[in-house]
Structure 1
């Protein structure tokens, strides 16, 4: 598979391949849903068996899982292609993570999938329904080690979900380090010259490559996807190699529109020469615009 991006070893969900073991760190249901939708649709299209480990809060059926991610229930297929594996504790008051129970149920589900003729399995889920701070971090890491050891030699793609609102920084760093990859949403735009990725922490976009006349439509459509965000929006631009005046005008118009709603647009990572152009034209005083640190020389 392709190398991941940056020190966090991020990789788009669509780039995962059999044998990969990745984590999904999310801080909103929107972020989780966007990533998992790509994971599920990719599995349906590839005719992979999809096994979803569900905690106390569900989902409790394949139809409910598809509905949560705005996928037609008819896309599930005729052979039970999507299966919910109950990972909830036998007693809702038991806040300990029962590793043997969870892995036992998952192992049986994998065996069923093999007997159905599926050669590749996609596994996703949350390691239990209780807040992560109720778990011992050592047990969580043992769970990850057992999961990786159990399924590394099989044709599986595994995505472990962790809600950053429910675990502290130490736990988040530890579980991320336990995975070769940290998965993110697939790009909104991916051409030979331009890549645009929706980001969620903070809310905004990551723009990479060349922004010229051919890219204006893509920029306009990508900005529209974050137009309804409540709060400030950050555009991360440290990998923008070229940005023409037309592209700058689109960004300034977007900033003014955000200002009308009492929000701002922060441009981060700009190359020094791009910052200089914005300043010379006088656009640095555009309502709703905030200029952050420039790209390192």
Structure 2
């Protein structure tokens, strides 16, 4: 599995297995075990996914050395602020059953982001978190908060796929060598994306499926991709991306598909309150 070196020197596998909307009723446990069996070594969860316990148990039961598995989790909005964030970090560690988390993100960038980040910087210095980052930061939100951070984020996990290529944001992040992590890298099953003639034609040429072409494009653009699936054959095929390379002309043909619009607008009025009301994380 190829890895990418983050701006703090940590190496992160270029492909991660995402467990968003995978129930923590044993389903996430089985899917993470399948992903690890298939060769994934990067698992992406969050407090608000309500499956950290499943993820941690699958890692422990996998028989794979902990140091060989990269684990990401995220702090939910209710835990923003210095003291709350410290409790949220410790809760994630406890639920995962881990001594440290490889990458920890501010899941939604609203409220007391500055003091939340201070708590995460402190936890990084204590060794509880190896790398720290943010999620869902637009250029507007980035410019509001990141210049005030002592430690720059290692990643910004945002919506990213060929229809929404985040060029303005990527240019801003590049100044601090911050990596983009892609959620919805396949457009959350967007049929218009997956059946687009550009991808169908390239899939035929390379003997791949359109999803593999899309993921390969994103990797060549420098993104860390987090495809999610509960289909075992798809879990395996989403890893099979390293025996071909798109040409410069093919990359340009895909770049031309950018609509500059995603499914979620973090800058929209009322988003923060709606998200805060959506979930309540219990100890």
Q: TM-score, normalised by structure 1?
A: 0.34
Which of the two has greater helix per residue?
2
Q: TM-score, normalised by structure 2?
A: 0.35
Which of the two has greater strand per residue?
1
